[in-house]
Structure 1
Amino acid sequence: MEGYAMTPEDMERGPVYNTTVTAVAEEKASRGWLWRLCGVLLIAVLCAAAALLFAWCQHERLPTMQDEMEPQLEILIGAKDTHHTLKQIAGNAKAAIHLEGEYNPNLTADTVQWRKDDGQAFSQGGFELQGNQILIPHTGLFFVYSQASFRVKCNGPGEHTTPLSHIIWRYSDSIGVNANLLSGVRSVCQRNYGDAESKIGEGWYNAVYLGAVFQLNEGDKLWTETNRLTDVEPEQGKNFFGVFAL
């Protein structure tokens, strides 16, 4: 058999096997890049779908929460006996605490003393009263409320007296400092006496009521601060402090 002599044209084309191997390598690289691109696009689509699903769930959940809260808040706003209404709403909650209070200088000289086992007071669902403070049992939305009632003896027209104030304080590890959660102030002895001197010396009755919804954390502590403690109304049901879960 005669040998094959390479022609000048063959020399110019170069080795046939080198062209084939290079083409295969380029095709594999192209496919690998295409698969990586598809993977990135798939992950992006899944993330977008998850975000849309989360947003939809939150959007659907918000009206439900509002529907659950509105009847309770409407009852509360229109209630004549706020104390009884709050106690009733709190009693229907899975977790709630409702405290009765009075000022007793023999027990503590600087605050209203709260009790969970007197009158209409109660606690359920993990709420605790520790050191005259309410301990929050779990993280969530809560309705926090309190009322301090006062009876001040007014001396006459033009009298300038210290306004009544009632504050709910919060301590949370996430904040690290005491925070003013709710506060209210009322002026007293502002009645127009005129010539009715017989009204001088009457007891001026007023109450400072506080209430709002808050996001609280497990372990948070709530307590109250009240001024003019000697003027705090001693009658049962006039002073209360409570929290219930929503």
Structure 2
Amino acid sequence: MVSYTTAPGDVEMGVEPRTVVLVEKKSSTGWTWKVLGALFITVLCLGGVLLFAWYWDGRQESMMETRTEALRGEDTAEKKGPHDTLRQFSTKAKAAIHLEGSYDDEDETATLEWKTGQGQAFAQGGFQLVDNMIVIPQTGLYFVYSQASFRVSCSDGDEQGAGRHLTPLSHRIWRYSDSVGTKAALMSAVRSACQQAAQDDNDRVEHGWYNAIYLGAVFQLNEGDKLWAETNQLSELETDDGKTFFGVFSL
């Protein structure tokens, strides 16, 4: 800032106007802070631009790698074919088997057979049905279960309507292990049918006594162990879908 003022001259020399110029001294410290602030802002902007460029390049590279892996997976799937792909999925699935019971009541020598190709039956994860026995694929914990359904006629054909009493129904799961060398009962249950049949209970005498035996528990089984289920009173056994079954699944 500049200002002007007039001072009187020497008395002897007479009055002569003088002009004095006052100059305001500007501080250099303010300019220094302004310069440093401008540099700091410039550095921040430049850093932000570099950081954004680095992030964008990394994202583009990651997207390219993902696309490359996807293309490789598609090429591999095309080379392997659908059967190999399904085989790969099946190896990752939990091991399980579910069988439906079948019995030919017209054959007097027939036994209870377990089927994989009827009803809701299936097998996966290495389970096999060999000689009517389930073969355990590998050592581990398994849940074993089975059910046998019966329809027992409580009438003995007597004209007086006298019913059969205490007809035994049994269902059992057997296990054979190479470590033991012999078969052993894994689970079993016994029930009695017609124990409450009365002469005046015509409906029960004519249509039969319905009952089911269910078995289920967890066991530590070894690779190669064989399991099978047997029941008595095969002539009274019901083998419609979902009534008599046998299964195992890994835990």
Q: TM-score, normalised by structure 1?
A: 0.58
1:235 aligns with 2:240: yes
Aligned equivalents of 2:210 and 2:239: distance in 1?
12
Q: CA deviation at 1:190?
A: 2.0
1:182-241 Cα shifts (integer Å, max 9, x gaps): 001111012353634454222111111100000000000000111010110131110100
Q: CA deviation at 1:102?
A: 1.6
Residue in 1 that maps onto 2:171: 166
Structure with bigger RCO (C-alpha 8 Å, 6+ apart): 1
Aligned equivalents of 2:128 and 2:100: distance in 1?
14
1:62-110 Cα shifts (integer Å, max 9, x gaps): xxxxxxxxxxxxxxxxxxxxxxxxxxxxxx9610000011212578935
Residue in 1 that maps onto 2:39: none
Q: Relative to structure 1, is the Cα distance of residues 107 and 175 closer, same or farther in structure 2, using a 3 angstrom cutoff?
A: farther
Higher strand proportion (structure 1 or 2) = 2
Q: Percent identity among equivalent residues?
A: 63
Q: Relative to structure 1, is the Cα distance of residues 212 and 93 closer, same or farther in structure 2, using a 3 angstrom cutoff?
A: farther
Residue in 2 that maps onto 1:99: 99
**Structure 1 counterpart of 2:138, one-letter code:** H
Aligned equivalents of 2:201 and 2:152: distance in 1?
18
Q: Relative to structure 1, is the Cα distance of residues 114 and 107 closer, same or farther in structure 2, using a 3 angstrom cutoff?
A: farther
Say which SS state the counterpart of residue 238 (structure 1) adopts: coil
Q: CA deviation at 1:112?
A: 1.3
Contact 1:102-1:232 at 8 Å conserved across structures: no
Q: Relative to structure 1, is the Cα distance of residues 188 and 197 closer, same or farther in structure 2, using a 3 angstrom cutoff?
A: same
Residues matched between the structures, number: 155
Aligned equivalents of 2:105 and 2:130: distance in 1?
19
1:115-171 Cα shifts (integer Å, max 9, x gaps): 111111000000000010000000000000001111010025663343100100000
Taking the TM superposition and a 5 Å limit, the aligned residue runs for 1:162-201 are: 162-193=167-198, 195-201=200-206
**Structure 2 counterpart of 1:216, one-letter code:** L
Residue in 2 that maps onto 1:136: 136
- Structure 2: tracts of 5 or more residues without a match: 1-91, 156-160
Residue in 1 that maps onto 2:150: 150
- Structure 1: tracts of 5 or more residues without a match: 1-91
Of the structure 1 ranges 148-157 and 123-132, higher mean CA displacement relative to structure 2 is found in: 148-157
Residue in 2 that maps onto 1:207: 212
Q: Relative to structure 1, is the Cα distance of residues 108 and 168 closer, same or farther in structure 2, using a 3 angstrom cutoff?
A: farther
Aligned equivalents of 1:243 and 1:108: distance in 2?
29
**Structure 2 counterpart of 1:129, one-letter code:** L
> Which of 1 and 2 has greater Rg?
2
Say which SS state the counterpart of residue 176 (structure 1) adopts: coil
**Structure 1 counterpart of 2:239, one-letter code:** P
Q: TM-score, normalised by structure 2?
A: 0.57
**Structure 2 counterpart of 1:130, one-letter code:** V
1:36-83 Cα shifts (integer Å, max 9, x gaps): xxxxxxxxxxxxxxxxxxxxxxxxxxxxxxxxxxxxxxxxxxxxxxxx
1:226 aligns with 2:231: yes
Residue in 2 that maps onto 1:114: 114
